[in-house]
């Protein structure tokens, strides 16, 4: 569990358009790394290359290497499906499967992959994952009801439960709280704090306070102008980024003097 | 007209003049009565039509004077829309009424338990045609649904570039194929394989599939496209391979819509006559075998019995109407089934 990710000279393209240019960074295990930066600077794009989710978009490809504990994710013969089983992802908008109950949603990673599991193991996995996502107490009496019947914040935590039920090494979250109210956001921030004990967590956020609250390391991305590729400006301990950034652009952005 | 006068006097900046609610009905009744009086009951249709025209003119003028231009236009267009709706329902009501009143004469046990084998004069039934319709349509469905569904899955989930565009184009072309051409195609195909003049239920089913496949492709394609990409991504992010994502996430999410589309496609081809005339033919006897010999379907039964009647023989005419009624009921049942399926299989929100 919990692995270290090294990215070297990564460029991401959508067809001819280069969306992200020359990113090199190290993401530490058992910590929370936050990506911040203006809209369109390629945070989501870059995040998706960490578990090869960009490949579902036609025309998208990368140059460079991403290694997880020394294994190159883009090496020859690497199966993206296996990569995604080890690197889970939570999306901006909660997306529980509408045809499945709460319980089935948590077990989706098992059942959709046609994996066999005894009923008692399933029960245990459901409870463990839902407890892990801070949702168990709220739904334990209605596990058989549709997942889409939950509130937005509960749905997002259900999606987190679904992701951690796969026991990934790394958990990527793309603006997981942007559709949620402050209370649900707080619940998820607490959860992220707990998750870092076992996982490598990467979170994209537009909320500076959130980045400051939950992350250990912060990476600031910026873009020179429309049509230009996004770049990693600086990456450092969150404390340092927010109090004493080494780049002018970072300081301007976090103090709201951007643009 | 006292109400009108009072409303006029209380005009303020916000309240306009307003006709009493019963005005349109009163005007309509008066206009119709006038039409009947002038043209008489002999020319009933003419009287009703001129009554409607008179009504349109009167209500627009009246409203224009009392309520102003905007309301007058509103009333005129409302009346026109309602009139169009009534005109559109006239054939429907008429067909339903005729099929029911004439079809019920032979809607008896004998009709549903006998074929036309050896029947001269009274009696006989359409069991062979009902069985034929069910078998041929079932075979057409069995052929069309896998092909149509897989084509749409290809187009939505995999298709990129020229091949997908070519397929889409040909599906569009196929949608417009006249049914007789589909019949000729199946006839030619089977004649090539089994010799000229070949007749069988299965060749009819093939002809119907040619008509059905594009409908199934189109409706399933639409349904597959409605499934949000987020669900596919959610599955991919769990490490689910693409084909399992399609089978276990995408299809279950839209299965209700796909099944509804299939049922409606069946309803669309079950009444086809021309292609079956060329392929399955007509026979008076029972035939349960799709792969040998002629097979009668309900539309052909109706067509043949009507032709045999020469337009006058009441025994044959009654059979034809009863056959039509059965066909209408089957289509009705299919449409009902489509609604039930849509309701039963739709994803539940549980709120
Ligand atoms: N599917 C796509 N095809 C082509 N270009 C894309 C696609 N997705 C994103 N882009 C482009 O890539 C660039 C980076 O987009 P991305 O979504 O990664 O930004 P972001 O930093 O996540 O922004 P936000 O904060 O608004 O979510 C943008 O210029 C965007 O237009
Ligand atoms: Mg984004």
User: What residue segments make up the domains of chain A, in order of their start?
Assistant: 5-95+171-254
pLDDT for the residue numbered A183: 83
pLDDT for the residue numbered B124: 87
Structure token digits, residue B21:
């609610």
Identify how many contiguous H helices and E strands chain B contains and give both numbers.
15, 0
Summarised one tens digit per residue, pLDDT across range B278-303 is 999 999 999 999 998 999 999 999 99
Does residue A92 belong to the interface with chain B, where contact is any CB pair within 8 Å?
A: no
Q: Indicate if the alpha-carbon torsion angle B77, B81, B86, B91 is positive or negative.
A: positive
| Closest C-alpha among A172, A160, A167 to residue A51 | A172
Summarised one tens digit per residue, pLDDT across range B136-154 is 999 999 999 999 999 999 9
pLDDT for the residue numbered B1: 42
Helices (H), B195-313: 201-226, 229-237, 242-245, 251-269, 274-279, 298-309
Give residues with Cβ within 8 angstroms of A227, minimum separation 6: A17
Alpha carbon distances (Å) from B130 to A35, B133, B161, B162: 67, 5, 45, 44
- Whole-number Å distance between alpha carbons of A203 and A34: 5
Tens place of pLDDT per residue across chain A (259 aa): 678 999 999 999 999 999 999 999 999 999 999 999 999 999 999 999 999 999 989 899 999 999 999 899 999 999 999 999 999 999 989 999 999 999 999 999 999 988 899 999 999 999 999 998 889 999 999 999 999 889 888 999 999 999 999 989 999 999 998 877 888 888 889 989 988 998 899 999 999 999 999 999 999 999 988 888 999 999 999 999 999 999 999 998 988 865 4
Mean pLDDT in residue range B246-257: 93
pLDDT for the residue numbered B10: 52
What is the distance in A from the centroid of ligand 2 to the CA of A229?
A: 14
Whether A45 and A230 have beta carbons less than 8 Å apart is answered as: yes
Q: Mutation test of ligand 1: which of A19, A59, A177 has the most ligand atoms closer than 8 Å to its C-beta?
A: A19
> Could you say which ligand is closest to the alpha carbon of residue A19?
1
Give residues with Cβ within 8 angstroms of A107, minimum separation 6: A117, A122, A125, A126, A165
Inform me whether the pLDDT recorded for B15 exceeds 80. Answer: no
| Closest C-alpha among A36, A32, A31 to residue A207 | A36
- Whole-number Å distance between alpha carbons of A245 and B36: 91
> Whose alpha carbon is nearest atom 28 of ligand 1?
A40
Whether B39 and B46 have beta carbons less than 8 Å apart is answered as: yes
Cβ–Cβ gap B228/A91 under 8 Å:
no
- Whole-number Å distance between alpha carbons of A92 and A44: 10
Here the ipTM equals 0.90
What is the distance in A from the centroid of ligand 1 to the CA of B67?
A: 55
Share of chain B above pLDDT 70, in %: 95
Smallest CA–CA distance from B158 into chain A, residue: A58
> Whose alpha carbon is nearest atom 18 of ligand 1?
A42
- Do strands A17-27 and A230-237 pair parallel, antiparallel, or not at all (unpaired)? parallel
Query: A90's torsion region: left (phi>0), alpha (psi -120 to 50) or beta?
Result: beta
Comparing CB atoms, the residue among B160, B234, B237 nearest residue A97 is B234
What is the distance in A from the centroid of ligand 1 to the CA of A232?
A: 15
Comparing CB atoms, the residue among B230, B249, B350 nearest residue A145 is B350
> Could you say which ligand is closest to the alpha carbon of residue A36?
1
> Could you say which ligand is closest to the alpha carbon of residue A46?
1
| Domain B113-345 top-level CATH class | mainly alpha
Ligand 1 atom at shortest distance from the alpha carbon of A45 = 18
Ligand 1 atom at shortest distance from the alpha carbon of A47 = 18
Summarised one tens digit per residue, pLDDT across range B28-45 is 999 989 888 888 778 888
Determine the distance in angstroms separating the CA of B256 from the nearest CA of chain A, rounded to an integer. 11
Topology given in CATH for the domain delimited by A5-95+171-254 = Rossmann fold (3.40.50)
What is the distance in A from the centroid of ligand 1 to the CA of A238?
A: 24
Structure token digits, residue B35:
């039409």
pLDDT for the residue numbered B6: 47
pLDDT for the residue numbered B265: 94
Give chain B's mean pLDDT.
90
- Whole-number Å distance between alpha carbons of A173 and A133: 13
Summarised one tens digit per residue, pLDDT across range B328-349 is 999 999 999 988 988 888 876 6
Q: Mutation test of ligand 1: which of A11, A12, A13, A14 has the most ligand atoms closer than 8 Å to its C-beta?
A: A14
Which residues of chain B have a Cβ shorter than 8 Å from any chain A Cβ? 160, 228, 230-241, 244-245, 248-249, 252-253, 347-351
Summarised one tens digit per residue, pLDDT across range B98-140 is 999 999 999 999 999 999 988 888 888 999 999 999 999 999 9
- Whole-number Å distance between alpha carbons of A60 and A39: 19
pLDDT for the residue numbered B2: 46
* Interface probe, candidates B223, B230, B237, chain A, greatest A C-beta count within 10 A: B237
Three-state DSSP at A34 gives strand
Comparing CB atoms, the residue among B228, B244, B351 nearest residue A112 is B244
Cβ–Cβ gap A85/B238 under 8 Å:
yes
CB contacts of A95 in chain B (<8 Å) are 228, 230-231, 233-234
User: Which residue ranges have their beta carbon within 6 Å of ligand 1?
Assistant: A 14, 17, 19, 39-45, 57, 230
* Interface probe, candidates B156, B232, B233, B239, chain A, greatest A C-beta count within 10 A: B239
User: What residue segments make up the domains of chain B, in order of their start?
Assistant: 2-106, 113-345
Q: Count CB atoms within 10 A of the CB of residue B311.
A: 8
- Do strands A71-72 and A60-68 pair parallel, antiparallel, or not at all (unpaired)? antiparallel
pLDDT for the residue numbered A128: 92
Inform me whether the pLDDT recorded for B239 exceeds 70. Answer: yes
Lowest mean pLDDT among A45-49, A114-118, B10-14, B197-201: B10-14
pLDDT for the residue numbered B11: 52
pLDDT for the residue numbered A180: 78
Q: Count CB atoms within 10 A of the CB of residue A131.
A: 13
Comparing CB atoms, the residue among A84, A86, A145 nearest residue B236 is A84
| Closest C-alpha among A60, A43, A72, A84 to residue A232 | A43
Structure token digits, residue B125:
């039934």
Comparing CB atoms, the residue among B239, B248, B351 nearest residue A82 is B239
Summarised one tens digit per residue, pLDDT across range A84-141 is 999 999 998 999 999 999 999 999 999 998 889 999 999 999 999 999 888 999 999 9
Determine the distance in angstroms separating the CA of A172 from the nearest CA of chain B, rounded to an integer. 10
């Amino acid at each position: 569990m919990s692995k270290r990710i090294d990215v070297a000279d990564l460029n991401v393209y959508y067809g001819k358009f280069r969306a992200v240019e020359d990113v090199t960074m190290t993401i530490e295990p058992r910590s929370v790394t936050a990506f911040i930066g203006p809209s369109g600077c390629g945070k989501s794009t870059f995040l998706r290359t960490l578990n090869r989710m960009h490949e579902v978009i036609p025309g998208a490809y990368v140059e460079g290497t991403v290694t997880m504990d020394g294994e190159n994710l883009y090496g020859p013969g690497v199966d993206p499906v296996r990569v995604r089983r080890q690197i889970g992802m939570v999306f901006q908008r909660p997306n529980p499967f509408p045809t499945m109950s709460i319980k089935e949603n948590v077990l989706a990673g098992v059942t959709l992959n046609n994996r066999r599991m005894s009923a008692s193991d399933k029960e245990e996995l459901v409870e463990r994952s839902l407890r892990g996502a801070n949702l168990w107490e709220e739904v334990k009496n209605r596990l058989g009801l549709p997942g889409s019947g939950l509130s937005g914040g509960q749905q997002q935590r259900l999606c987190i439960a679904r992701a951690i039920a796969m026991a990934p090494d790394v958990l990527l979250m793309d603006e997981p709280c942007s559709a949620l109210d402050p209370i649900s956001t707080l619940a998820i921030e607490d959860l992220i704090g707990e998750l870092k004990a076992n996982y490598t967590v990467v979170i994209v956020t537009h909320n500076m306070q959130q980045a400051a609250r939950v992350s250990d390391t912060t990476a600031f991305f910026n873009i020179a102008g429309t049509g230009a590729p996004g770049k990693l400006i600086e990456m450092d301990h969150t404390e340092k980024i927010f109090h004493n950034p080494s780049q002018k652009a970072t300081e301007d952005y976090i103090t709201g003097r951007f643009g | 007209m006292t109400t009108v006068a009072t409303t006029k006097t209380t005009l303020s900046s916000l309240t306009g003049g307003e006709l009493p609610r019963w005005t349109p009905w009163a005007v309509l009744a008066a206009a119709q009565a006038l039409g009947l009086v002038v043209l008489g009951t002999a020319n009933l249709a003419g009287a009703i039509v001129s009554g409607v025209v008179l009504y349109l003119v009167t209500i627009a003028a009246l409203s224009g004077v009392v309520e102003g231009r905007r309301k007058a236009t509103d009333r005129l267009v409302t009346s026109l829309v309602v009139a169009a709706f009534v005109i559109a329902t006239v054939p429907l009501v008429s067909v339903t009424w005729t099929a029911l009143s004439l079809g019920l004469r032979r809607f008896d046990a004998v009709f549903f338990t006998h074929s036309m084998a050896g029947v001269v004069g009274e009696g006989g039934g359409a069991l062979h045609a009902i069985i034929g319709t069910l078998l041929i349509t079932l075979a057409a469905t069995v052929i069309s649904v896998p092909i149509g569904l897989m084509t749409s899955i290809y187009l939505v989930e995999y298709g990129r570039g020229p091949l997908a565009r070519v397929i889409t184009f040909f599906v569009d072309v196929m949608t417009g194929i006249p049914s007789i051409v589909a019949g000729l195609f199946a006839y030619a195909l089977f004649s090539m394989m089994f010799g000229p003049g070949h007749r069988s239920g299965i060749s009819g089913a093939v002809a119907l599939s040619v008509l059905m496949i594009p409908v199934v492709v189109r409706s399933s394609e639409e349904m597959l496209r409605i499934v949000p990409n987020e669900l596919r991504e959610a599955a991919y992010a769990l490490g689910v391979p693409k084909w399992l994502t399609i089978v276990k996430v995408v299809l279950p999410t839209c299965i209700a819509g796909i099944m509804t589309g299939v049922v409606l496609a069946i309803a669309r081809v079950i009444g086809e006559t021309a292609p079956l005339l060329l392929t399955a033919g007509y026979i008076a006897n029972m035939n349960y075998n799709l792969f040998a010999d002629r097979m009668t379907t309900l539309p052909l039964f109706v067509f043949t019995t009507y032709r045999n009647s020469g337009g006058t023989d009441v025994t044959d005419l009654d059979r034809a109407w009863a056959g039509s009624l059965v066909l209408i009921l089957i289509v009705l049942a299919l449409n009902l089934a489509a609604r039930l399926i849509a309701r039963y299989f739709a994803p539940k929100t549980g709120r």
